[in-house]
Structures are given as C-alpha cells and as structure tokens.
Amino acid sequence: MKLRILFLITLLFVVTLGCNKVNDIATTDNSQIETTSLKAHEIAFEGTSTPFGLPMDPGTFTPLPNGKFLIEGNIAEWYESADESMVTGQSIWYVNWLIESDWSGAEVWGTTDIYVGLESGGNPADADGKWELIWHGWLTDGVPGGGFFTEGIIEVEAVGTGTSGVVEGMTAHWIYTLDLSEGLIYNFEGSINSKPVTKTIKFQRSWGTFEFDGGSCCGSPFLQARIMGEGNASHIGHFTVLNTYCLNPPAFTEPIGPWLGFITAANGDEIHSQMMGFGFDSDIGPFYIYKIIGGTGRFDDATGEIHMWGETDFSTLTWYLEGEGEITY
C-alpha cells in the first residue's frame, strides 16, 4: 500500500508540476480559514529573582564630601524565575548605589541583561533571547547607623527592550520589591507589551520527514498526511514544525479540507498557518505558500505569509526546505 501511495504521489507531482518552470500555482480550499482581528495586547508575568554565587565584581566604594557613600560598578549574577518563559533566565546586574550618610536609605540604579531560557552559570551565547533593562529605585527603612543593609525595603522600576532571539523588538516593564528582613530575594511583576509589528522572518535550511496515517482523524476512507521537522529561523530560534492534511487515496489530486501547519518556537509559542498553494520552479524546485492565521503566546492573532522552497524526496520520505516571509504580531 505504501509503495502504491508513493508511486501515485510521485506521479501527481510529475504531472502537476512538470520538469520546467511553471507560472501557475495550485491552490487549496481556503473556506476554513478563520479571520482574526489584530490587536495590541500585554502579557502579564510575576516571579522571583535570586542571587547566584558571590558578586562578579564588588565595584568601588567612595566616601563623598557630603557624607554619603557611592558604590559604582557592582556586577552580580541573579536568576529570574517567572510564570512567563520570555522573562525567565539568567540575569546580569550592573549596579550603582548612593547611600545616605547614616545608612537609613539609598538610591540605586543601573542596567541589567536577562538571557532568556539560560540557567544560572550558563553561557549567554546559548540563550533563546536577550532583554536589556534600564532601572532606578530606592531603599527605604534602613537602620540608621547600621552599616551595610540587613534591613529595609528596596523597590525598583525597570523597562526593557528585547534585543535578540524570541523577544527581539518587544518591550516590557518590571516592578521589583525586596524586603531585606526576609532574605535576599526580589519579588517582581510586570508585563510584556507586544504591540503589533511587522517583521521579515527567515527560515534557514530546515528538514524533516513525512508519513501517511490511516487513523480515524480524517475518517474512512481518507488518510492523514503528517509532515514533521525542525530548523532555525529569525525571531523564533530553533523550531519544530508539524503540517497535517487529509487525502483521498484513489485520487491524491488535492487535500481534503485545509492543509494546516503548526510551528513551535524555541520558547514554546506557536505560529499557525494554512497552505494557500504550491508550484514548481526550475531554479528553486517545489515551493509552498502559507498564510499565517494566528498562534499562541506573542503570536496570538498573528498574520502574514511564508514562502518555502527546496527539495522533497518521496523515495526516502524526507524534505529539505528554506524560505522567508513577513509576520505581523
């Protein structure tokens, strides 16, 4: 049965696509595409920030003429643990303190890099993305004359920009609160602002396999085609992909119902698509056109279009594709 399927599909591609450049594009049934409204939305998060090891650099301590103390260049590694994966990971804090003369309080400010998805002590090059924060805060309720702080409340407000990977182009806002009498752990809350932006998304060479399943998902006598694989792409990092559609075994002329795609980004967010057409080009081989019809996480209500091209080998049930398109989310 499998050999008969492969023969018929191969024959279908030879007859439909031919061996020369073809200008016509085969189209699929689009009746089941759902139209979504694109809207700005925020993703709320909360979590804790805890230090990792000793400071990487204690900085310089300078007594000032007005009696206050200045600490500059303190560098420390912390770990951000949140209920949202896009703000979870290793953080490097670059901290400055301006401390009251009686140690009753302090102003604190600096910058922070958060490496998304990276464990404590990891290599930043392995992160799924990077946030760059700038922040400012105050320590209050310190103990006058008590020396370096063992008590007090620190409140910090931070804003950040995603500069690479899965958070590139996003903005976010954090409020950090630490009660020193309860230990060295910040609680934080905030939100990611994912206002719609349009970006070019590029798929480096991706690869995978396909199979045909006679299960009940399509209903007798149809078969389900499952196209599975992985690759790397801008804005989403390393991804996995699953495409599914139903076929009528005697004909194989076109899918029965929609050809749906599910791309899962490195952080778990999904891009959903539907194939709009396919064709053959003598320069690039088979090509496929997908409409983006939403997703999950930051790709909720996403729109756009993706073009993929490359190689499909029906003798080994494998494929190798690359492509690009535009996505608005």
pLDDT reading at 21 higher than 80 = no
Strand, helix or coil for residue 55: coil
Paired tokens of 311: 């190689």
Most trustworthy range by pLDDT among 24-28, 133-137, 239-243? 239-243
Q: What is the mean pLDDT of residues 172-197?
A: 88
Task: Please answer whether residues 255 and 242 qualify as being in contact, where contact means their C-beta atoms are separated by less than 8 angstroms.
Answer: no
136 membership: H or E segment, kind and range: strand 129-140
C-alpha span between 204 and 233 (Å, rounded):
6
Fold of 42-193: AOC barrel-like (2.40.350)
- Entry pTM: 0.55
Give the residue, 75 or 16, on which the prediction is more confident. 75
Q: Is the pLDDT of residue 221 over 70?
A: yes
Domain boundaries, the chain: 2-34+198-328, 42-193
pLDDT at 5: 34
CA 6/CA 312 separation, integer angstroms: 12
The pLDDT confidence band at residue 11, using thresholds 50, 70 and 90, is very low
pLDDT score at 292: 92
User: For position 14, what pLDDT does the model report?
Assistant: 28
Lowest mean pLDDT among 40-49, 156-165, 250-259, 315-324: 250-259
Give me the pLDDT at residue 161, please.
86
pLDDT digits (tens, 9 = 90+) for 51-66: 999 899 999 999 998 8
Mean of all residue pLDDT scores within the chain: 82
Q: How many helices (H) and strands (E) does the chain have?
A: 1, 18
Residue indicated by tokens 């009940």? 216
Task: Please tell me the predicted confidence (pLDDT) of residue 195.
Answer: 61
Work out the pLDDT band at 37, boundaries 50, 70, 90: very low
The pLDDT assigned to 223 comes to: 82
The CB density around residue 20, as the number of other CB atoms within 10 Å, is: 8
Instruction: Specify the pLDDT at position 159.
Output: 87
Taken as a whole, the chain contains a residue count of 329
> In the chain, what is the straight-line distance between the N-terminal and C-terminal CA atoms, in Å?
43
